[in-house]
Amino acid sequence: MEDTWGVRDVPVLSAVVELLDHSYMVTVSDIGERTGLDLAEVARSLDAMDPAFVDFRKTETGGDPRFWYVNRVTPEARQAVGQWPTAEGLIDQLVKAFSDAADHEHDAERHYQLRQAAGLLGETVRDVAVRVAATITGPLGAGAGVSPGNGPGPAADAEASAPGPSAAPAPDDDAG
């Protein structure tokens, strides 16, 4: 019977992400110590998350999981624990930041511009903004790429759908 990712895996994933921020790899023992879970439960959880969330390696230890380790997490792992924003979440944060800035702006023209920016990002151009943000954050569920601190972000899949230079009209060469 195949094990699948579930709510019981969240403490393990959170520990892995946090520990990897301070080390190039973490062992099942490290994770068990951090979470208070027994080694077999940690190993089952890591098996369920491999390869979608973690790169889990089982070394030749005669079945003893103490020294099995994780050396990488995926962007989806960081998103699952709230450490790496989704494209949608990033745009939501920008909308809120522009709205908050408008609320505190005393200059009428600037207040209007900040409100316009929030409105555009929140509604009119949201779909384009989310596609562009996905080139930075990586699309949820892409399964490709590496996490911050472990190399460049996953932009390849999203780049193909993001608007490029061809999205703007070409200048009229005859006007001159």
Give residue-wise pLDDT tens across range 143-161.
Answer: 333 333 333 333 333 333 3
Picking from 73, 95, 112, the residue at the C-terminal end of a domain is: 73
Please give the residue range of the domain that contains residue 119: 87-165
What's the whole-model pTM score?
Answer: 0.52
Quick: pLDDT tens for 55-111.
Answer: 999 988 788 888 899 999 988 888 788 777 788 888 999 999 999 999 999 999 999
d(CA 45, CA 22): 21
Q: Tell me how far CA of residue 121 lies from CA of 82, 98, 131, 155, in angstroms.
A: 22, 9, 12, 21
pLDDT band at 7 (very low <50, low <70, confident <90, very high): low
Both 56 and 97 in one domain: the answer is no
For residues 22-52, b (16+ Cβ closer than 10 Å) or e, as one string?
eeeebbbbbbbebbebebebbbbbbbbbbee
Both 50 and 106 in one domain: the answer is no
Query: Inter-axis angle of helices 28-35 and 10-20, to 10 degrees?
Result: 120
Both 98 and 157 in one domain: the answer is yes
Domain count across the chain: 2
And the tokens for 119? 């409105």
Q: What is the pLDDT of residue 2?
A: 44
